[in-house]
Amino acid sequence: MRLATITNWAYGATVLLTIVSGATMLLSSSAQEHERVAVERRFALDRATERLAEDVYRLTDRARQYLNTGDATYQVLYAREATDTDKLEERLRRIAKAGATPAELAVLREGLRWADSLRDEQTEALAAQADGNTPRARQILFGAEYERELDRAITMVERFQEQLDQRTEIEIAEATRISRIWRTTSEFMLAITAFLFLCVLYFVFKRRVLRPVVRLSDVVNRLAAQDYGVEPPTYEDVDEIGDMAQAIRVFRENGIERQRLEAVQEAERASRALLARMTQRMQGCDTLDALTDVVQRFVPEIVPGFAGRLYVLDPDSNRLEETGNWLDPQHSGSAFSTLDCWALRRGLPHRPAGETIDVPCAHLDLDGADALPDTLCLPLIAQRQTLGLIYFESRKARGEQRFPENYLQMLSENIGLALSNLRLRERLQAMALTDSLTGLSNRRNFEEELPLTLAKAERDATALSFLMLDIDHFKRINDGFGHEAGDSVLRAVGAALRQAMREDTRIFRYGGEEFLVMLPGADSAQAMERAEDLRTRIGGLEILHHGEPLGPVTVSIGLATTPDHCPAAKLLRTADAALYRAKDLGRNRVEAAQPRKDERRAS
């Protein structure tokens, strides 16, 4: 029950009790009024009957005084007082009006009848006196019969007064009793009203207001300190306190939900910060290995609980090759064809075990699996070109862990963009460091690698040989057949060099018709053997231009080896000097560098 209802009921009960108490007080006052009226009526009747008795005695006394003295004055007084005395009916009417009862009036009527009889006898006695019959007059007024009648009249009046006294006392006692009853009732009602008021105050302000408010105040203070672990009290009563408790409960639930949302937002901010940091690191990567290392480090933190692999597309074989993985994925191999993945076929994310039924990819290893694993394949696409695939699989049972698809989509887009930038950087670097005509590394590439190669040879104390090649009479070919023919010769020589060299050999187009070959780890004898092989291969080329042979093409080769011929720092200049000596000695030959005299003495 609401406090307003309780208060209204208490107010109504208090008002009702107050009205009842007022009514009892009015009734008590009315009873006292009845008592006062009874006393006043008694006083009025006492005066009326007292005058009646006095009239009876006074008329008797006047008549007797006249008889005893013969003084006419008493006769005059008697006549005057007799005239003033009311008639019987008039007296009864006035006494009845004063409040006498019929029984009392009957007694009084009897007394008045005797009083009127006495007056008749007094009149007769006065008349006898006037006639001179004094004995007769005295016999009438002083006789025994007159005394008896006088006593009877006085007795009836006294009896009337006695009845009147009894009735008045009864009425006064009854009025007093009723007045006391109503007064007691009024006091009792006032006491009940005061008690009810105190009970309402105690119940409402202490039990239903003060105590719950104190508890709710403690809860509110803890909630204000964001201590949402506090449990607000439960009040089943439908009142304002219950409404406050419900409002505090709702506020607590909202606070818990807000904390949860803040935690989710904080986690999202952290994930976005990790994603942004990962994107920055990937943009700074200049090799695929560096990019893979960044992905392996950041992805498990951005999407925890999901194992995965990073695949990169090999355009030559049209296969996906794994470059890295995290959390040991179980259901996808390290390499597979692009046709084995539905995500690559469709160019869209593919999840075969999601909320809807779909076809599992062929690259999934489902042997021994009780159910279809929850996996997700995200194609890495940039500039409408497929670059690779990022694969995820959940570590928990289906439905217990949801893929954060928004982050995964951003991951795939950022990784795809990083791969695209890496590929573009590699292509630009290749274009900047590769000779477009022969496909060999250009002089700029050579100048970048030369310090590193020389430093490595000195650090490892290993041999390093340079072969400097120059096409013989190349200007004659250009002048005789045109520059297109010269380009054909250059391409043919470059192809021959690529075919003849091993993996550890680096070949550069050093100048117009000059080529340079690095032979790490080869001493002068091995370098001479390789140089002769190259000269023979190039000399055996059959180069056609517009269907006509250009004739034999020969090369002159200068060879220099460190530390056999010179220090590492002078290796290029020494090989160039050997090349000029080969040209001076007739071309189409290999000439090894000769140590200088001071270097021979030092050796």
Residues designated as active site = 513
Q: What tokens appear for 309 in the block?
A: 């692999």
DSSP character string of 254-304: HHHHHHHHHHHHHHHHHHHHHHHHHHHHHHT--SHHHHHHHHHHHHHHHST
**H or E segment to which residue 196 belongs:** helix 144-200
Cβ proximity of 550 and 544 under 8 Å: yes
Q: What tokens appear for 220 in the block?
A: 């509110």
For 296-322, give one letter per residue: b (16+ CB within 10 A) or e.
bebbeebbeebbbbbbbbeeeeebbeb
Cα separation, 483 vs 437, in Å, equals 12
DSSP character string of 568-601: GGGHHHHHHHHHHHHHHTTSSSEEE----HHHHH
| Residue 329: CB atoms within 10 Å | 20
Cα separation, 544 vs 360, in Å, equals 55
Give residue 20's identity as a one-letter amino acid code.
V
Cα separation, 124 vs 143, in Å, equals 13
DSSP 373: -
Q: What tokens appear for 260 in the block?
A: 């949860």
